[in-house]
Amino acid sequence: MERPGLIRRIIVLGCLGLFALAIVWRYAGLALATPSGAGLAPRVVQVRGSIHDRSGRLLAVDTDLYDVSVWKPALDSTRQAEQLGLVATSLQLDAAELVRRVDDVPNDFLYLARRIDSDTVRQLIDLIEANGIVGINIDRVAGRVYPEKNLAAQLIGFVGTDNTGLAGAEAAFENDLRADPAGGRAGFAYGNSVFLTIDVDIQFRLEQICREAMAENVAEAVVMVALEARTGKVLAYISLPDFDLNHFLDADQAAWTDRVSIYTYEPGSVFKVFSLASLLSLGGIDQASSFICDGSFERATSGGETITIRCLGTHGQVNLTKILEYSCNAGAAGASETVTTGDFYQRLNAFGFGQRPGADRPSESSGLFRDPDSWSARSKPTIAMGQEILVTAMQMASAATVLANEGTLLRPRTLEAVYSHSGELLMAAPVVPQGRFMTAEDARIILDAMEAVTLESGTGRRARIDDLRMSVKTGTAQMIDPATRRYSDDDFIASTLALFPSEDPQYIVYTAIIKPRGESIYGGRIAAPLIREAALLIADLYGTARGTTPVATHSGRVVLSSPLAIDIGGTMPDLSGVPKRLLTSLLTRRDLIIDLQGDGYVAEQSPAPGTPVESGMTIVLRLR
């Protein structure tokens, strides 16, 4: 009677067993399948694209890094503490802390170190093999190397642990740099190569002089941006303090701040250039317009309030040129009264203030330029002298393209081109005009007036180069104290803007020294000399025609003689920037010990320039 029920149970249990066996079989097949097995796509190694300067010099490239992990069940329990201690020493970790962490973490899998370089991994592998250590896994991951270390750190940016751009060009061009696995061949997929507009030579040398200025003036920070005036392309992008991109997590995060495109501040008197250019282009003033400076500007409002703008001196009767030459606050304030509030705002806005510049950055500040509806009775004359408005260094430099291009504003560019991994040009960044709102004649008037700033009576005389005409404006701005929300008695920004050569501007350089604590706070005293050094450097490296530079005509064929080798006499010369090929002759010296370290150009030297040279002295030259 019960036999049919028993048979049914046996049949049901047998079917369930076969079904379970089929599931286990399928799971085992998937688990043990190789990457090229049925149903699984082959693994594609993704190589992030490289970043270069305008001449192709390497700024960022992918390399092999490694993650080191432990699978706790595989460890030799009898030697676990000893072997983990050896691994910790190889990874330069605290042995006791590592053993404690492995014991305390409940998971069987644990990372011991992330993104380790290949040299360290090779030493670790030798250690593992020599000591029979098991349970330690080493996995290759994509990593990023920045050969130039600190150079243009905020411009280039960095990537995260997943090799995705987090800042700078690495983030801005993520879609170009990231490899597409679908396009991979032979197991590899490559991202595109991004070329930036900066020139490594200019960038390196300007960083040097900015670093010296920062130390000399005991400043919190220094910013400098140099542009090609006729294209808007950025030649140098400097934000100090900076950091080594290869170790960005070890740096003070304050150094990550992009003071060219993000950091905002009141520009001070440099802004008078754009205020007067706006007033001139609107027809409010001309070259003959004059204003009285008796030490201040005063105006009574319809409500009975008296507005007072104080000047640093008593300049008497001033015109457009004298306002810039003396940096006259009263003259700028009086000139602002010649146009309406709305027109003044719109024209300054056309210069790019209150707008993001569009310099191919992952993020940019638009500054702060309030709508005229929120202006007080004193806002217009105050803005005319560079207060009640926040700007970025990039805005200041790019606004000057209007003066260099006969009234046309150019979009600043940090992107030169994008190439495929095979070398095919995918995109060349074009010159982008943003609109014309000044006549060529008016632009020339402003440039000529800025030349007067370099006269002996002008605030920019320390920027003057005798055989190179320069159009300059200096500025000194009080900073707001965050605690009191009032102007600080101690914190200032000293700045200077220059276009050169004045007769046909090819380059624009703007610099700002933030919170100087040295002998002076004034732009004319500490920022103008910095601009002079930068202009001399750029003019020399790019062959800018100078007043004393001889001009020759030729057939187009030039034969260059070999450069003279460097020699060391009684005192140590300044060898900064000298290429290695000119230093090799020093190795033949028998009276000196020459220690050449690295390749490229001299970045550091010991002893310092001017040190007396004695027989047997060791001279260390570090190149990069």
pLDDT, tens digit, 9 for 90 and up, residues 217-249: 999 999 999 999 999 999 999 999 999 999 999
Work out the average pLDDT over 125-130. 90
Q: How far is it, in rounded angstroms, from Cα 81 to Cα 83?
A: 6
What strands, in cross-sheet order, belong to the sheet with 602-606? Answer: 593-597, 618-623, 602-606
pLDDT at 599: 67
pLDDT grade, residue 30 (50/70/90)? very low
CA angle centred on 462, ends 456 and 464, rounded to 5°: 75
What is the structure's pLDDT at 159? 94
Residue % of the chain over a pLDDT of 90: 63
Lowest mean pLDDT among 113-122, 201-210, 326-335: 113-122
| Per-residue pLDDT, 558 | 44
Burial class of residue 35, CB neighbours in 10 A (0-12, 13-18, 19+)? exposed
* pLDDT category of residue 565 using cuts at 50, 70 and 90: low
Tell me the average pLDDT of the chain: 88
- Give me the pLDDT at residue 10, please: 63
What are phi and psi for residue 227, nearest 5 degrees? -120, 150
Tell me, what's the pLDDT at 433? 97
Per-residue pLDDT for 491 more than 70?
yes
Confidence of residue 453 (pLDDT cuts 50, 70, 90): very high
Cα-Cα-Cα-Cα dihedral of 535, 536, 538, 542, to 10°? Answer: 130
Radius of gyration of the chain (CA): 32
Query: Angle at CA 580, nearest 5°, toward 575 and 583?
Result: 65
| Distance separating alpha carbons of residues 314 and 371, to the nearest angstrom | 32
Range from 95-109, 166-180, 380-394, 445-459 carrying the lowest mean pLDDT: 95-109
Q: Respond yes or no on whether the N-terminal peptide bond of residue 267 is cis (omega within 30° of 0).
A: no
Residue from 410, 392, 402 nearest 495 by CA: 392
Residue 206 structure tokens: 């300007």
Task: Give the chain's domains with CATH numbers.
Answer: 45-196 (3.90.1310.10), 206-542 (3.40.710.10), 580-623 (no CATH)
Q: Which pLDDT belongs to residue 185?
A: 79
DSSP H or E stretch at residue 11: helix 3-32
Instruction: State the Cα–Cα distance between residues 452 and 593, nearest whole angstrom.
Output: 51
- Bridge-based pairing state of the strands 188-190 and 45-47: parallel
The strand ranges marked E within 7-76 are 45-47, 51-52, 58-71
Q: For CA atoms 522, 523, 529, 533, give the dihedral sign.
A: positive
Report how far residue 450's alpha carbon sits from residue 176's, in angstroms, rounded to the nearest whole number. 42
Residue 479 is classified by DSSP as E
Burial (CB count within 10 angstroms: exposed 0-12, middle 13-18, buried 19+), residue 24: exposed
Helix (H, G, I), strand (E, B) or coil at 310: strand
The residue among 463 and 621 whose pLDDT is bigger is 463
pLDDT tier at 4 (50, 70, 90 boundaries)? low
Q: pLDDT tens for residues 597-623?
A: 776 678 888 998 888 888 878 888 887
What does the pLDDT read at residue 560?
Answer: 42
Q: Judging by DSSP bridges, how do beta strands 415-419 and 425-428 pair with one another?
A: antiparallel
Greatest extent of the chain over all pairs of C-alpha atoms, in Å: 127
Lowest-pLDDT range, 251-255, 265-269, 355-359, 562-566? 562-566
